[in-house]
Chain A
């Protein structure tokens, strides 16, 4: 499966994968939509039951398949639908991001943001900002799998 878009046209548009928890951030994204707040079309949202569902492998897989940035959004600490899921996710992601940084992968390509169901505005701001950061970083070559890239001709 390939998630990379056809990039024939000149300007670099990053591909961003956003893992959003079903109860807060996904609803937040929905609110951003219904409130007609824009966020970049390159952001591909993957809905997960809880931010705690995000396995470190998911993040690496997203990079493998051609993502240039991966962001994880969940309920604010204390507001998890399952009480404590995001606390575990927070520790996990801290360690994973630290490890990616240790291996020399740009630390700005990964991010965690807490977005509640009422924060459509925040969702839009976060995604715009993240897309801007990743665009500046350019294409992800350090973590991609060459076989998953589309042939450029």
Chain B
């Protein structure tokens, strides 16, 4: 990781120096080493703060929408991990970003860490994390601890889509495609489907009632790219901030997931940013699973220009009554 970070920084400085790019989108460290946030850098001096560590889970593709609009000269450099390039492609497909204005550096990724999972192991006061690819050596103010890397991976990284870049201008330190069997990303969805309606209702009622309507899931989602959002409309009936009625939460989450159905690349950002840890990816994955089963396998962002399943049809699609014929009621 250290080595990759060094290579990235060197290349970024080169590109800034020769004027190929005028702005860099990357990550910088916050107050704590695990507090890595997206940041933009305009000069070599600023780019000194650029980091690439195991906490760079944030997907930078969505920032390109506003960056492309604001850009007057040169190009923007975006550092994208393999899974981020899917979102990048999806945004290109929807003409939300201009490919000519972006210089994409694909950065190799071993899977990113979830600080919540580490903290849940009882590891507090973290000052440093040394990541050797298999185990984490965590230095804390109370001494040093170790844990398995796979136990601390982000949900999205547990079922990594691919280590291959779907869009890039150059690649730094790519990772080989893992040969190990990946976790089935629909396992939890299938488990829920097998429950009875009452159990499912209880599960979602418990999860969704935690929602504080901070809109983080909507704001971070690279597929949620409308300039004006239905939820910002005061007459939509879902703009109230307070947790007033369980209907609002359900409506918000159904509609949020529906609006990205067929365009969601399953990047998992919604669940990553949720301050209440609601498993929002389970809603998106339900749509993806249904689409795959009913309309054929489809991975959004796999290629530029593919037609989203909900903007398409065939004459012999399943009737909506198909829902009644399967699974548990």
- Measured CB to CB, the nearest residue on chain A to B236 is A57
In the complex, which range does the number of interface residues on chain A fall in?
Answer: 35 or more
Stretch at the interface among A17-25, A36-44, A90-98: A90-98
* A95 touching B291, Cβ below 8 Å: yes
Question: CB-CB < 8 A to A84: which residues of B?
Answer: 313
Give chain A's interface secondary structure class: helix
Question: CB-CB < 8 A to B310: which residues of A?
Answer: 88, 91-92, 95
* A101 touching B317, Cβ below 8 Å: no
Shortest distance from the beta carbon of A58 to any chain B beta carbon, whole Å:
11
Chain B window 227-267, contacts with chain A (Cβ cutoff 8 Å), 1 for yes, 0 for no: 00010000011000000110110110011011001000000
- Which of A87, A102, A143 lies in contact with B286, CB distance below 8 A? A102
- Which of A78, A90, A145 lies in contact with B248, CB distance below 8 A? A145
Stretch at the interface among A26-34, A106-114, A115-123: A106-114
Q: State in angstroms the CA–CA spacing of A107 and B324 once bound together.
A: 7
A147 within 8 A of B: yes
Give chain B's interface secondary structure class: helix
Number of interface residues of B (CB under 8 A): 49
Question: CB-CB < 8 A to B317: which residues of A?
Answer: 87, 90-91, 94
Chain B window 308-321, contacts with chain A (Cβ cutoff 8 Å), 1 for yes, 0 for no: 01111111011111
* B323 touching A90, Cβ below 8 Å: no
Stretch at the interface among B33-41, B179-187, B194-202, B298-306: B194-202
| Cross-chain pairs A/B with CB under 8 angstroms, 21 sampled | A56-B255, A57-B255, A60-B255, A63-B247, A87-B314, A87-B317, A88-B311, A90-B313, A91-B313, A91-B317, A94-B290, A95-B287, A97-B320, A97-B323, A99-B258, A102-B192, A102-B283, A103-B250, A103-B254, A104-B205, A111-B321
A→B interface (CB under 8 Å): 56-57, 60-61, 63-64, 77-78, 84, 87-88, 90-108, 110-112, 142-147
